[in-house]
Chain A
Amino acid sequence: MSAWEKLAALPRELVLTLVLIAMIIPTLHPLGLPIMTGQMAQDWYDTVDALPEGSVILFDIGYGSGGYPSLGPANIAVFHQFFEKDLKVVIMATALEGSMMYPLVMEGVKPESNYGAVYGEDYVFLGYIAGEQTAMAGVLGDLPALVSTDYTGIPIAQISILQDVAGADDFDIVAYLTTAGGTSEGWVYQAYSAYDKDVLGGFLSMMTTSMKPYYDTGQLLGLIDGVKGAADMEFLTRHPGDAIQSSDVLSFTQTLVIILILIGNISYFGAKASRKEET
Chain B
Amino acid sequence: MDYKRDIPLVITFIVGVIAVMDYYTTFSAVKETFTIIKNWGVVLQAFALGLGAANLFRVHGKRISDRKTSEWYFSAWLLFMLIVFVVVGLGTGQFEASSQYKWIYNAIFLPLGATMYSSLAFYMAIGAYKILRARNIDSFLLFATAILVILGNTPIFPATFPAFFYTREWIFTAIVGGAYRGIRIGIGIGAVVIGIKTLIGMETGYLGRR
Contact = CB atoms under 8 A, between A and B. Distances in A.
A66 B113 contact: yes
A3 interface: no
Contact of B126 (A12, A70, A255): A12
Given A138-B39, A231-B155, A213 B181 contact: yes
Given A66-B113, A67-B117, A146-B42, A260 B153 contact: no
Interface stretch (B55-63, B169-177, B197-205): B169-177
B128 A261 contact: yes
A9 B49 CA distance: 46
Interface residues of B, number: 63
B117 A152 contact: no
Given A12-B126, A261-B147, A68 B133 contact: no
Interface centre among A23, A130, A135, by most chain B C-beta atoms within 10 angstroms, is A130
B65 interface: no
Given A138-B35, A258-B150, A194 B23 contact: yes
A34 B156 contact: yes
Interface residues of A, number: 66
Interface string A60-74: 000011111110000
Contacts of B118: 69
B63 to A, nearest CB: 24
A134 interface: yes
A196 interface: no
B154 interface: yes
Given A16-B122, A16-B126, 15 more contacts: A16-B125, A35-B155, A36-B159, A70-B117, A97-B109, A97-B113, A141-B34, A152-B97, A194-B23, A205-B153, A209-B180, A247-B155, A250-B154, A261-B146, A268-B133
Interface of A: 10, 12, 15-16, 19-20, 23, 33-36, 38-39, 64-70, 96-97, 99-100, 103-104, 129-132, 134-135, 137-138, 141-142, 145-146, 151-152, 194, 205, 208-210, 212-213, 216, 228, 231, 247-248, 250-251, 253-258, 260-261, 263-265, 268
